[in-house]
Copies of this chain bind each other. A is one copy, B any other.
Amino acid sequence: MPQPQVAIIMGSKSDWPTMENAAEVLQQLGVEFEVEVVSAHRTPDKLMEFSANAADRGIKVIIGGAGGAAHLPGMVASKTRLPVLGVPVQSKALNGMDSLLSIAQMPKGVAVGTLAIGTAGAYNAGLFAAQILATTNPELAERIESFRTAQTESVLAHPDPRVAE
């Protein structure tokens, strides 16, 4: 099995319908990744250990998704020098505003790169992880360029919103 470069972790199994969007784009771009439930609040020791060891295991970027008082991405970031991307999962009562603020408003000295609330954010977290890896991987950079060109062309090919496809 090839070495995963990106780890996608999430606070709960129920975050998977959101977080699978990160997996989808990484797969599409040919980036190896692993997926795991790691709960900041229910499995804090695993979180600490996972975060402390990720770099040594060869992981390059960590994507963490969580909702509500979403502490997962920030706590992972406190234990690794790897870039950590945070996905605010849409929460039931406050629609992810709590998740967004819990993830984005990190204090000086420990950083999390935050994406949008929900599935678009998860998808973009995967894409952003690939963009990070591509800074020193010309082949991946090319695949991202192709992905983007295809995305642009797909929009250009359907300029009239009134036409059914």
Residue positions of A touching B, CB distance < 8 A: 10-13, 15-16, 19-21, 35-46, 48, 55, 60-61, 67-69, 71, 74-75, 77-79, 81-83, 85, 90-98, 100-121, 123-125, 127-128, 131-136, 141, 144-145, 148, 151-152, 155-156, 158-162
**A105-B117 in contact given A42-B152, A43-B152, A131-B111 (Cβ < 8 Å):** yes
Copies in the complex: 8
* Bound CA span A138–B140, Å: 21
A-B contact pairs, 29 of them (CB 8 A): A12-B155, A13-B158, A16-B162, A20-B162, A37-B155, A40-B74, A40-B78, A41-B106, A42-B151, A46-B156, A48-B48, A60-B135, A61-B135, A67-B107, A69-B101, A69-B103, A71-B71, A71-B75, A81-B141, A83-B128, A90-B92, A91-B105, A94-B95, A94-B101, A102-B102, A104-B121, A106-B124, A113-B113, A113-B128
Chain B residues lying within 8 Å of A67, measured Cβ to Cβ, are 107
Are B95 and A95 within 8 A (Cβ)?
A: yes
What is the distance, in angstroms, from A63's C-beta to the closest C-beta of chain B?
A: 11
The CA-CA distance from A16 to B74 in the complex, in Å, is 22
Q: Give the distance in Å from the alpha carbon of A162 to the alpha carbon of B116 in the complex.
A: 23
CB pair B69–A161 under 8 Å, yes or no, is no
Taking a contact as CB atoms under 8 Å apart, the answer to whether B42 and A134 are in contact is: no
